[in-house]
Structures are given as structure tokens and as C-alpha cells.
A and B are shown apart, each in its own frame.
Chain A
């Protein structure tokens, strides 16, 4: 007897809805066991992780703040991945976007520059991210250099460029020589949405990006092209789609979105350019993209959900003294379950008699 996977004739809509619930249920069971072993009350812990952050306007807003860059970056990445283009350097594009946009904030700091500063910063941030993404894209198109390596390596380079700038030329002259730019002026700051709380206009921008991506993927030729090139490259060539141009296009869009997320983050919640502006958003967004099944609305939900686990994990550290490492284990297990359950949308598991020993499939 053996368990095997079998492809469904068509994707199961019922399971598509049920799978996240199943995954959460499995996570709850697993973590309950783990919490019990570690001597923490599982019910309280799960409440703190999942429910408590949703009961309070502060944490709700913070979830949105945390999800904003994740969703924005992940939308761009999903276009790449749908087209089978492997941009894993969004972290670097995020940083370069922050750097390029901050340039304006730094040079206009303390002057009476008008309200044009912020829009210009956003444009420069998007351009900076897109240009940084063009390096691996061009290396791939021109020389056939693998984009996984080049985009990843450029993350480290981007980080060091920022490091150089904030410790050198862009350092706040009044900042006692510490590595940070001066605090951005109000005209260079993304305004908050409400009087209290940190939720800012960037969150709305992220929603707009989700909407645009939905329209583009569903209703435009470009969206069709992306999906065809990714799913059936040969057919795409037949249809006259230029895969090289698509590499440049998807890299440019994802770079621009990552860059935009970067400058919004710096000009919004952070307010200065300094080392460590990204706690790995560019990498976490890769998970968000897949967790959201490369679908814009899915990504929005996935981004909010992952943000919830971050905020909940912090609450667990405070109220239950649960170590941060356990939160990471929790996130890892949760991701595994979600991914595993999602696979049931396309496949069914069947118990069959061993055909010839256990050579096909693993039990």
C-alpha cells in the first residue's frame, strides 16, 4: 500500500477555499503540541498569535504597515515568476529605490522646496529600483548570465552602496557623525492616513498596485503574454511573443515596485535613510508571492497574514516570553502546511496497492 499524488482533471475550487483553513488547523495542532512541550499554554499562545492582533486598532494598523512593502514587492515578483523569470534580488532593488528616492530628500533637506519633492522622490525610487533590476535583466538578455546569481549578488552590493552613502556623503551634518541622513522634511514624507497610528498612504498605493496587477493579468495582452511565456514558452514563440523583451519588462516592473516600496518605507515609517531599513522584505516577499499563489488578491491576503504572524510573534514575546526563534519555527511550519495543503488544489492523494515495490512516488 502506498500514498501517491494524482493530478486532478481541473483545479478544485472547493479545496482552494478549504486549504488555508486546513493548513491553519494543522498548524494549530502542531504548535499546540510544541507549546505544551515548552510549558506554555497552547490556547493562550495561539490567541496571542492569531486573534489578539486583530482586536486592537493599533496592531491592525501595524499589520497594514508591515504588509505594505511585502505586498508591493510580491506583486512585482509574481509577474516575474509567472513569466519564469527568477528575480530573487528584490531586496537590492528595494534598497536602491530607497537610496535613489532619498537623494532628493537629502539635497532638499532644510530648503523651502515645495510639495513636488515627495512625488519626485517616489518617481526616482521606482526608477532606481527598475534600473538596478535592469542589470541582471540585461546580463541575462545580452550575455545569457543566470539572473538568480546576478540579482542575488547585487543585493549585497546595493546594501554596501547605501552603507557608503549614509556613512559618507549623505550623513546628517548635525548627527554627531552617526550613519544616518537627516530626518526627512515634511514635504519629503509620506503622510499618515489618520491622526494616530503609522498607517500611511503607501498602504493605499499597495492596494492600487494589487488592483492594477489584477486588471493587467486578467484583461490585457501583456498579462496574457506573461502567462503564456511562463507556462508554454514554445507556444509563446509561436505566437510571436518576444521572451527577451518580457525578461526586461518583468524585471523592470518588479524592480520599480520594489524600489517604490523602498522609498515609501524610508519616507514613511522610517523617516530617514539609515542602514538596516529592510528587515529582509525582499526575501520575505518571495514567500508572500508563492503563498498568494502568484495571484494579486492572493498576495494581498498572504501579505496581511504573514504580517499578522510577525505582529503576533512580537506580542507572544511580550506577554508570554516566547522566544523569537519559536516564532520563526512557527512561521516555517505554517508555511509548510499552507504550501502542502495548496498542492491538494491541483492534486489528490490516493492510497493504492503498491504497483511494483515502492519505486514510484514516496510514501
Chain B
């Protein structure tokens, strides 16, 4: 009954809202292109959560559409153009591989607004957005360094792209601040998405002595393995506490909703401009799930680190940053590494016991 009344109330509100916004035909149509299925619990799922937040916030001023499982190959350009042709005025393409196709379609449809996630090519009607996930990784490194009894961390990596590599580096830099001798073992599984394989990798890392597991793959499989082994783990993309109530230390949460709302509002009131948005903890595009399963002093340290990053007094890639060979890398950004160096990161820092595949 209560639910029914809520629905009725929502409907009433909706009617009122419609009254203000001219008529239904002028709804802003917004399209999303997803790489995976909406239920992947990882990257695509969090974009979908963001889309839902957008729908909730702007209600019937907008109409949203998504295309899921769009491969990054020849299909993506058509899929994007299909959205452009069907009256979508604002289109979010949510994976790096959509960069060139988005650019091509953007040039063809100069009046339509495009937003591409995690890329670097832009146009007057095509902006980019991404999160500074390495900030969260740095905090995870600090926590992991404190929580690891054996001083060995395990890292399940997907593909050697800059974001993954900067994540590995930020982790060990954070960990080194509390334990200079920390070791980090990396396994590349060459997939974003194979729960069985992610579990296998987590087991292998645990078997080789890692007692804190972190991952840059999408599923909660590693979390569950850590739970069975009685060691700790970090979630990925979303809060995975449900899969490891006694295991999850924290999780980086990709919080796209506020950005989608901001961009849609800008498109609605005509103030949208193609920008280059790279937000982090401060802007809340990257959130940390509650700090759990750790002693109070570690929790306090984590919170302090987070606060310092938000305040801008702490930068994970503060110069000098030492490369794997122990020599300081060139510092292009003054006090810290330049954003370009982070976004295109292709080297390991000192202390990572691995070689970047393909390098």
C-alpha cells in the first residue's frame, strides 16, 4: 500500500513537473554506449548506476537510452551514430575504445553533444571525462601497507593501459609511506571480466604469500577468495562489502552520477561546453567506500590521507618519483607529475616486482 502511495505521489509530481517543462516532446534525449552488459557488477554497471541517478534527478525533463555490449571494433561507430540519428542530443560513450568512433560521429553531427570517458581526443562538441582513480589507489596502498602482516600485496591487473599502471604505482607509493620494504606481486589476467580466472589469480597470489588482495578487474570473485582465505581485499568500481563483510577494507567507487547530472543540466540550460573533466576524490567522482575491518589507527590514517588528497596538500605522484631502476623520472608538472604523465603512464615505480607486458 505504501509503495502504491509513493508511486501515486511520484506520478503526481511528474505531472506537475511536466507542466513546467513545456511539453513532453521537448525532452532532452540522452544516450549511453556501454562496453559490457549492464549487469557486469563492474565498470558498465557503475555507469548504469550513474544513468539511473541522472533519471532520478532530472525525471521527465530527459529521456535516456543505452546500448549495452557494444564492442569497441567496427560496431561502435554505427551504434553511436544510431543514437545521434534518433534524436539523442547528448551522448556518453563510456569506454576508451570508443574514442575514434565518437570523434568521427561528432564531426558528422556538430550540433549534438558528445562526452567520451577516459580518452584524450576532443572536439568543439566532444568533451572527455574521467576519474582520478589513482587517488583512491594511493589510500588503498596506505591501508594495505599497514594491514599486511607479511609485507606482501597481491594485485590482479587486467590490461596494461596507463590507468591500470598508474593504479599499481599509486598503490605501492602509498604502501611505501608506511612500510618501505613492502612487496607487490602483480598478475595480469588479460581480461576485464572472467570471474573464474580472477578467482584463480587471487588464489595464486594468496598461495604465494600475499595477504592483502587488490584488483583492477570487475567482478567480486577476488573478494570472495580473500574471504575464504581469511585475508583482506579491496573492492573495485563499486562497494563490494556484501561479498566480503569481514574482508573488504574499502573500495574505490566510480561515482559517475553527479557528472552525468551536471552535463545534462548544462545541456538543458544551453551552457554545455566540451570540456576536459578529470575529477577525483575532491569532486566526488571517486568515492571511498566506508573503511571497515581495520583498527582505528589505520582507519584514522586512511581518513587523514583522504582528507589531505581532497585538500590538495598531498599528491600521490609527488616528485621525485623514482622509476624501477631507482632513478627519478622527469618531473614535468613542477611539484608533481604532470597530468599527461599520469594519464599516459607507462613505467613502474621503484619497488614493483614485475615487468609491464609488451614493454
B120 to chain A: which residues have CB within 8 Å?
176
A223 to chain B: which residues have CB within 8 Å?
none
A176 to chain B: which residues have CB within 8 Å?
120, 162, 340, 343-344
Contact A279 to B75, CB < 8 A, known contacts A167-B358, A176-B120, A272-B100: yes
Residues of B in contact, count (CB < 8 Å) = 37
- Closest chain-A Cβ to B299's Cβ sits at a distance in Å of 35
- Closest chain-A Cβ to B278's Cβ sits at a distance in Å of 13
- Annotate B81-102 by CB proximity to A: 1 below 8 A, 0 otherwise: 1110110000000001100100
A177 to B190 Cα, complex, angstroms: 17
Chain A's closest residue to B69 (CB) is A324
- Closest chain-A Cβ to B164's Cβ sits at a distance in Å of 11
CB < 8 Å: which of B37, B71, B78, B161 contacts A62?
Answer: B78
Chain A's closest residue to B165 (CB) is A177
- Closest chain-A Cβ to B19's Cβ sits at a distance in Å of 25
When the two chains form their complex, are residues A314 and B159 in contact, meaning their CB atoms are under 8 A apart? Answer: no
A58 to chain B: which residues have CB within 8 Å?
81, 85
- Closest chain-B Cβ to A188's Cβ sits at a distance in Å of 15
A315 to B120 Cα, complex, angstroms: 29
A277 beta carbon closer than 8 Å to chain B: yes
Contact A276 to B161, CB < 8 A, known contacts A58-B81, A62-B78: no
A277 to B359 Cα, complex, angstroms: 22
When the two chains form their complex, are residues B162 and A178 in contact, meaning their CB atoms are under 8 A apart? Answer: yes
A270 beta carbon closer than 8 Å to chain B: yes
When the two chains form their complex, are residues A177 and B75 in contact, meaning their CB atoms are under 8 A apart? Answer: no
- Closest chain-B Cβ to A123's Cβ sits at a distance in Å of 22
- Closest chain-B Cβ to A270's Cβ sits at a distance in Å of 5
A177 to B340 Cα, complex, angstroms: 11
A164 to chain B: which residues have CB within 8 Å?
357-358
CB < 8 Å: which of B65, B159, B190, B343 contacts A321?
Answer: B65
A165 to chain B: which residues have CB within 8 Å?
358
CB < 8 Å: which of A168, A178, A318 contacts B358?
Answer: A168
Chain B's closest residue to A311 (CB) is B78
- Closest chain-A Cβ to B255's Cβ sits at a distance in Å of 23
B68 beta carbon closer than 8 Å to chain A: yes
Interface size class of A (residues with CB under 8 A): 35 or more
- Annotate A297-322 by CB proximity to B: 1 below 8 A, 0 otherwise: 00000000000000100110111010
When the two chains form their complex, are residues A167 and B343 in contact, meaning their CB atoms are under 8 A apart? Answer: no
A100 beta carbon closer than 8 Å to chain B: no
CB < 8 Å: which of B68, B73, B357, B359 contacts A278?
Answer: B73
A270 to chain B: which residues have CB within 8 Å?
73-74
When the two chains form their complex, are residues A319 and B86 in contact, meaning their CB atoms are under 8 A apart? Answer: yes
B31 to chain A: which residues have CB within 8 Å?
318
- Closest chain-A Cβ to B124's Cβ sits at a distance in Å of 19
Mark out the residues of chain A between 154 and 168 whose CB falls within 8 Å of any chain B CB in the assembled complex: 160, 163-165, 167-168
B75 to chain A: which residues have CB within 8 Å?
66, 279
A271 to B31 Cα, complex, angstroms: 24
A185 to B87 Cα, complex, angstroms: 32
When the two chains form their complex, are residues B100 and A269 in contact, meaning their CB atoms are under 8 A apart? Answer: no
When the two chains form their complex, are residues A177 and B85 in contact, meaning their CB atoms are under 8 A apart? Answer: no
A160 to B358 Cα, complex, angstroms: 11
A178 to B165 Cα, complex, angstroms: 11
A169 to B68 Cα, complex, angstroms: 31
When the two chains form their complex, are residues B65 and A177 in contact, meaning their CB atoms are under 8 A apart? Answer: no
CB < 8 Å: which of A171, A179, A319 contacts B159?
Answer: A179
A265 beta carbon closer than 8 Å to chain B: yes
A198 to B37 Cα, complex, angstroms: 26
Chain A's closest residue to B359 (CB) is A168
A318 to B70 Cα, complex, angstroms: 13
When the two chains form their complex, are residues B357 and A167 in contact, meaning their CB atoms are under 8 A apart? Answer: yes
A163 to chain B: which residues have CB within 8 Å?
159, 190
Contact A65 to B74, CB < 8 A, known contacts A58-B85, A271-B100, A321-B65: yes
When the two chains form their complex, are residues B79 and A277 in contact, meaning their CB atoms are under 8 A apart? Answer: no
CB < 8 Å: which of A198, A269, A279 contacts B71?
Answer: A279
A58 to B340 Cα, complex, angstroms: 38
A317 to B70 Cα, complex, angstroms: 12
Mark out the residues of chain A between 248 and 279 whose CB falls within 8 Å of any chain B CB in the assembled complex: 265, 269-272, 274-279
Chain B's closest residue to A317 (CB) is B67
When the two chains form their complex, are residues B74 and A314 in contact, meaning their CB atoms are under 8 A apart? Answer: no
When the two chains form their complex, are residues B65 and A317 in contact, meaning their CB atoms are under 8 A apart? Answer: yes
CB < 8 Å: which of B69, B82, B100 contacts A318?
Answer: B82
Mark out the residues of chain A between 269 and 301 whose CB falls within 8 Å of any chain B CB in the assembled complex: 269-272, 274-279
CB < 8 Å: which of A168, A177, A277, A318 contacts B344?
Answer: A177
| Additional A-B contacts beyond A178-B161, A325-B37 (17; CB < 8 A) | A163-B159, A164-B358, A167-B161, A265-B74, A269-B74, A275-B72, A276-B72, A276-B73, A278-B73, A279-B71, A279-B73, A314-B82, A315-B82, A317-B65, A318-B65, A318-B67, A318-B82
Ranked 3 nearest A-B pairs via Cβ: A168-B358, A176-B344, A167-B358
Q: Enumerate 23 A-B pairs (CB-CB under 8 Å) in ascending A order.
A: A65-B74, A65-B78, A66-B74, A66-B75, A168-B359, A171-B358, A176-B162, A176-B340, A176-B343, A177-B344, A198-B78, A274-B72, A277-B74, A279-B73, A314-B78, A317-B67, A318-B65, A318-B86, A319-B86, A323-B68, A324-B67, A324-B68, A324-B69
